[in-house]
């Protein structure tokens, strides 16, 4: 026995439930369209088909997973949305130039990492390790087709694209850190992987990888070694005079004309006369 007032109340509850369900369906539909568009932009660019396939499967599984991912931004186990590009030039360890799907050329600064300087206009900021890092990036990325993942900001104040750069499933930014070629460098709000990067850096440091275990060569020692390898005395094939290697006249001899002798007798036997200034 239900009185009219109570019946009206039940009717209202059913209506509310129906509205809620309709809302959820609508939401689910929207997020499905969103992920479809993302997949398209990667696919059209002609990048790695296995990845595109995996994304297709995700779409098939239903939009519930996508919605869950949206609500948990910390969870990055999902395949990221990538834009395919071709690396046309490596500028230094953390900056590359790419050709985009539309044919435009863009400079890309890798997010979250900083490699020692190698091409800085202020030469005092360039360090030996900069060249090593630069060489590593060149070997790894030059000429490759890569996937670019953006964070919150698409460009920095110099107009460069900001991206995580993938070769297949491997994120190169992370490789730079784990190999010790770069240190973690974060500019909020682009901090999507900062925790992962920081952990990688800690293990790279502990293992003494790359720059963490690197001592720059002693250049003066190296020069001395080269000198002694070349000989104690230097002669000129033009003047047929020979000098101590530290003689100012000896140092003026061009490399084309320079002849080195291990000892004095060797020079004299070869028909060279001792310099009258340094008296070798
Ligand atoms: Zn001399």
229/238 Cα distance (integer angstroms): 22
* Rounded CA separation 204/113 (Å): 14
- For residue 39 the two structure tokens come to 């997949």
Higher pLDDT, 220 or 168: 168
Together in a domain, 183 and 97: yes
Tally of domains in the chain:
2
Same domain, 181 and 240: no
3-state secondary structure at position 3 = coil
Q: Residue 131: inside a domain, yes or no?
A: yes
Question: Model confidence over 203-243: pLDDT tens digits?
Answer: 999 999 999 999 877 666 666 555 556 778 999 999 999 99
Angle at 189 between CA 185 and CA 195, to 5 degrees: 55
What separation in Å is there between the alpha carbon of 219 and the centre of ligand 1?
A: 25
Ligand 1: distance of its center to the CA of 228 in Å? 17
98/131 same-domain check: yes
Read off the pLDDT band of 278 (50, 70, 90): very high
Q: Are residues 143 and 234 in the same domain?
A: no
pLDDT average, residue stretch 39-62: 35
Taking only the tens place, the pLDDT of each residue in 96-131 is 999 999 999 999 999 999 999 888 888 887 788 999
Cα separation, 66 vs 81, whole angstroms: 12
- Own/partner pairs, 122-127, CB within 8 angstroms, 24+ separation: 127/216
Asked whether the whole model's pTM tops 0.85, one would answer no
Decide if 264 is catalytic: no
User: In which domain, by residue range, is 232 found?
Assistant: 219-274
How far is the centre of ligand 1, averaged over its atoms, from the C-alpha of 280 (Å)? 7
């Amino acid at each position: 026995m239900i009185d009219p007032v109570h019946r009206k109340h039940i009717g209202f509850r059913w209506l509310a439930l129906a509205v809620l369900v309709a809302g959820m369906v609508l939401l689910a539909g929207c997020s499905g369209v969103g992920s479809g568009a993302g997949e398209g932009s990667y696919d059209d660019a002609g990048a790695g088909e296995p990845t595109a396939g995996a994304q297709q499967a995700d779409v098939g599984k239903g939009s519930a997973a996508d919605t869950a991912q949206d609500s948990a931004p910390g969870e990055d186990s999902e395949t990221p949305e990538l834009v395919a590009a071709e690396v046309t030039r490596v500028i230094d360890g953390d900056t590359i130039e790419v050709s985009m799907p539309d044919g435009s050329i863009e400079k890309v600064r890798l997010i979250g990492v900083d490699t020692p300087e190698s091409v800085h206009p202020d030469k005092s900021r360039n360090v030996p390790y900069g060249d090593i890092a630069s060489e590593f990036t060149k070997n790894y990325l030059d000429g490759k087709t890569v996937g670019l993942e953006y964070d919150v900001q698409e460009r920095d104040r110099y107009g460069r694209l900001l991206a995580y750069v993938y070769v297949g499933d491997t994120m190169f930014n992370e490789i730079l850190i784990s190999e010790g070629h770069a240190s973690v460098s974060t500019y909020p709000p682009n901090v999507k992987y900062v925790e992962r990067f920081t952990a990688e850096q800690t293990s790279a440091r502990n293992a003494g990888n790359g720059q963490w275990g690197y001592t720059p060569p002693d250049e003066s020692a190296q020069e001395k070694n080269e000198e002694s390898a070349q000989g104690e005395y230097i002669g000129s094939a033009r003047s047929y005079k020979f000098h101590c290697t530290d003689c100012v006249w000896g140092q003026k001899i061009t490399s084309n004309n320079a002849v080195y002798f291990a000892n004095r007798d060797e020079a004299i036997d070869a028909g060279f006369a001792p310099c009258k200034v340094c008296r070798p």
